[in-house]
A and B are shown apart, each in its own frame.
Chain A
Amino acid sequence: MSESRSILETRAISKTFPGVNALSGVNFTLNAGEIHAVMGENGAGKSTLIKVLTGAEQPDSGEMLLAGKRIQPKSPHHAQELGISTVYQEVNLCPNLSVAENMFIGRETIKFGFINAKASVIRAREILQRMNISIDVTRQLDSYSVSIQQMVAIARAISVSQAQVLILDEPTSSLDRIEVQKLFEVMRQLKAHGQGIIFITHFIDQVYEISDRITVLHHGELVGTYTTADLSRISLVTKMIGKELTDLENLSKAKEAIQRDPAEQPFMQVEQLGRKGSIQPFNLDIYKGEVLGFAGLLGSGRSEAASLLFGIDSPDSGSIRIDQKEVKHLSPLKAILHGISLCPENRKTDGIFQELTVRENIIVGLQSSLGWFKFIPLKQQYEIAEKYIKLLRISTPSPDQLIRNLSGGNQQKVILARWLATDPRLLILDEPTRGIDIGTKTEIQKMLLDLVEEDKAVVFISSELEEVVRCSSRVMVLRDQQKVGELAGKHVNEAEIMQTIAGGAEYA
């Protein structure tokens, strides 16, 4: 049957970057009509494999076959022409163009030498409707949420007529549950039409829900390809990281209710703090020595609340007290000087300085708190950088490496190091574990507990409920830009949080 017909095959693909064997002799086969998950830790070689498949990087050796024919994609565009389309983790569209323009950019319908905008609009609407998305395709892309933008990116990729292979690189990391289901529907539909889909994700649940086969990579080498149904979760995880998960289970002990001295004053006290269009006024006390979770669906106002606490956005109502003293006109610098740090949600746009070195990326937060003229001597900068590289196990050849050459998880660790170096009293982590592997996730979660041991306060934001539950001793629950509840102690569990999110209404 067509089940086993291979459409894309790599034979002994190898790729070396300076100092790193990114891929060594990887054999990989994608069949028509299958959803094939590629799994691995950060630095396992997933990204490199995708880059090779899409022509963004040329392999050093090995060959690739598409439908039995040898191919050598020279660029992502070339790969697309050959029939390999990709949707990347971060939306790579033009926010200032309309949805329809984005879908057909570079391959517009031409009529009498001019772009036929009308035809594009109609076709865009058709394609999106097939995916059950009805939006105004003439509106600018950035007027829609990230998840809609992601769907548009996928629509664009599948609308490339000859695409036989669709690569989805972390497509679900910014989608909520319902949107993920919608995406899966689309994926199943494409699969039924005989399309091969390579699915890259960190969500193990999703892999088991949707994929037919799983290929596991580790340190650039192929561990194996397995039929999903025959591979137990625990053995998948073991294969990916080569260590047992008991570490994670030990973490859950930390969740016992904290007995607080009733006389203890909160580190930070927020009253009726709000900002129109992003979060309605809310009250919140943050104490030292606890992890306070923010839970809610995408767009519920989690990050917006954090932005107010750090002074990124200015509130239009309410007050902030730090150490019992009112702080007005909070700005990021003021917040840092008060011992507050925020590790932002969007690593690429708000976190890293691509063209700067790991050392500079680590030191910049501390330096900005010291001001222009208390320059940290280079020697000390290296000491600090080396310290955190070791402490957080950042894998980089040297502190002088440009951060853009690091994998996503390691970049995230560098940003964490930046804020740890300022020795914060309150560390706000907005989605610190998004798009990174289980090993690093565990390390970050452990780090939270260490911080709490040191009597620091942590605000932890994650769209993975299970993670919020595991780490937090208290949880603020948000829905539709509003604080809808606060749970503490034994009430911190997935069921109660979901009930709170759902509120009185029925939970579908």
Chain B
Amino acid sequence: MLKVGVAWRKISANGIIYSTLALLALLAFNIFASPGFFNLEMKEGHLYGSLIDILRNGAPLMVLAVGMTLVIATGGIDLSVGPVIAISAAVATSMIGKNMGASNLPLPLVILGALAVASLCGFWNGILVSRIGIAPIVATLILYVAGRGIAQMITDGQIVRVFYDPYYFIGGGYLLIPFSLFVVAGVYLAAWLFTRRTAFGMFLESVGVNPNAARFSGISEKNIKLVAYTISGLCAGVAGILISSNLKSADGNNAGLWYELDAILSVALGGTPLTGGRFSLPGSFLGALIIQTLTTTIYSVGVPPQVVMLVKAIVVILVSLLQSNNFRQSIAARFPSRKGAAR
């Protein structure tokens, strides 16, 4: 009984509960707005349906949200993940080359290469922030500005198309469910193990909550930040592979465009404070899911494209307000009778 109480307080304090409610509300809306939304079909041993689509299309964002969560937990921010996606995509596709049905280099090497370059980008951000002391928003803005240029340099300014089935499989293949979901699961499992089964998570939160006290406790703030930004780069690399393999091409200008903003939003919706400290990976996953569900819902309902962004913004405002203690209290204060009933 006591444990339930503690768990409940943890959940509601996280704000996860309100994100969950928002997601459920979105799904409930779809029951009425778009019939067939919940239909799942088996075709050739694959599951198809709007729900599967949401998960599949949301995969890159979900992966990205992991790295962003860790960076935000340090009290920082990583604006460069969109361009790093483009760089990772460019590296991977260039290593595969334009051969029909074959790759220049073995696939594991391709993946490793793209991830290594992306991690290097994150490491660069980490160096700028932790060793040189540049404010995170400025430090990562550097790669944000330069990143797409680097991606185009790698591909000689071309949109690289690849024709290699094993690569398609990563972002577009199915093992009953989309293969990209296994990638997502793998990333989350690894992140969970790294943050909650080593001391990294505790150190990360310590640095985010009170860097001074962390220093007095013998925690190296610099190394923690360096690792967080590197992981964020790595996650952007994974997202870049997912996106380029799904599109079978790498476009330096458009791959991962605006993803950094959606990733930040996912983390915020997931209840991790942007000032740093306590973080929640499940929360960020939920945040990414909300954003993707929202996007899919808007399109399937047939909202005119020119107002899509507006609708998205309104929903985001509503969810953010729901998460705010102050807002909930002031609403509750306006309806004293209801408050009593709710108790």
- A368-B199, A369-B218, A375-B198 known; A356+B212 contact, CB < 8 A: no
B residues 264-295 near A (Cβ < 8 Å) are 277-278
Residues of B in contact with A, size category: 20 to 34
Q: Does A299 contact B (CB under 8 A)?
A: no
Q: How far is the CA of A312 from the CA of B203 in the complex (A)?
A: 18
Q: Which residues of B contact A342 (CB under 8 A)?
A: 216
Residues of B within 8 A of A40 (CB): none
B206 smallest CB distance to A (angstroms): 5
Q: Verify if A400 is at the interface (C-beta below 8 Å from B).
A: yes
B216: A residues at CB distance < 8 A = 312, 332, 342, 344, 350-351
For the complex formed, measure the closest distance between the CB of B168 and the CB atoms of chain A, giving whole angstroms.
37
How far apart sit A78 and B198, CA to CA, in the bound complex (Å)? 47
Least Cβ–Cβ distance between B205 and chain A, in angstroms: 6
CB distance B206 to A353 under 8 Å? Answer: yes
Partner of A355, one of B209, B215, B220: B209
Q: List residues of B (189-214) whose CB comes within 8 Å of A's CBs.
A: 197-200, 202-203, 205-206, 209-210, 212-214
Contact A335 B206 (CB under 8 A): no
Please provide the chain B residues from 1 to 34 with a CB less than 8 Å away from any CB of chain A in the complex. 6
The B-contacting residues of A in range 339-391, CB under 8 angstroms, are: 342, 344, 349-356, 360, 363-365, 367-376
- Which residues does chain B contribute within 8 Å of A372, judged by CB atoms? 198-200, 203
In the docked arrangement, what's the CA distance between A356 and B210, Å? 10
1/0 per residue, CB under 8 A from A, across B169-202: the answer is 0000000000000000000000000000111101
Residue picked from A335, A352, A355, A360, most chain B C-beta under 10 Å = A355
The answer to whether A350 and B206 touch across the interface, beta carbons within 8 angstroms, is no
Residue of A nearest to B212 (CB): A350
A418 within 8 A of B: yes
Interface band, chain A: 20 to 34
Q: Tell yes or no: B219 within 8 A of A by CB.
A: yes
Contact B218 A352 (CB under 8 A): no
With known contacts A342-B216, A365-B217, A368-B218, A354–B200 Cβ distance under 8 A = no
Residue from B202, B277, B278 within 8 A of A363 (CB atoms): B202
The residues in A between 422 and 467 inclusive whose CB is less than 8 angstroms from any CB of B are none
Query: Quick check: A364 and B277 within 8 Å, CB to CB?
Result: no
What is the bound-complex CA distance between A369 and B198, given in angstroms? 13
- The minimal Cβ–Cβ distance linking A380 to chain B, given in whole angstroms, is 13
- A375 pairs with B199, CB closer than 8 A: yes
A373 to B227 Cα, complex, angstroms? 14
Which residues of chain A come closer than 8 Å to B203, judged between CB atoms? 364, 367-368, 372
Q: Which of chain A's residues 397-416 have a Cβ closer than 8 Å to chain B? A: 398, 400
- Are A353 and B218 in touch, CB under 8 angstroms? no
A352 to B209, CA, bound (A): 9
| Nearest CB of B to A417, in Å | 13
| B131 CB → nearest A CB, Å | 15
Contact B199 A365 (CB under 8 A): no
Complex Cα distance, B224 from A333, in Å, reads 14
Output the least CB separation between B323 and chain A (Å).
Answer: 16
- Chain B residue at smallest Cβ distance from A307: B216
Please, which residues of chain A bring their CB within 8 A of the CB of B214?
353
Are A335 and B218 touching (Cβ within 8 A)? yes
24 chain-A/chain-B pairs, Cβ below 8 angstroms: A332-B217, A333-B218, A333-B220, A335-B218, A342-B216, A344-B213, A344-B216, A350-B210, A350-B212, A351-B216, A353-B209, A353-B213, A360-B202, A360-B205, A364-B202, A364-B217, A365-B217, A365-B218, A367-B203, A368-B199, A368-B203, A372-B200, A375-B198, A375-B199
Binding site for A on B (CB under 8 A): 6, 197-200, 202-203, 205-206, 209-210, 212-220, 277-278
Q: A residues within 8 Å of B by Cβ?
A: 312, 331-333, 335-336, 342, 344, 349-356, 360, 363-365, 367-376, 398, 400, 418
A332-B218, A360-B206, A363-B202 given; 6 more Cβ-contact pairs under 8 Å: A332-B215, A350-B212, A350-B213, A353-B205, A372-B203, A400-B6
Query: Which 5 pairs between the two chains have the least Cβ-Cβ distance?
Result: A333-B218, A368-B218, A336-B218, A332-B218, A353-B209
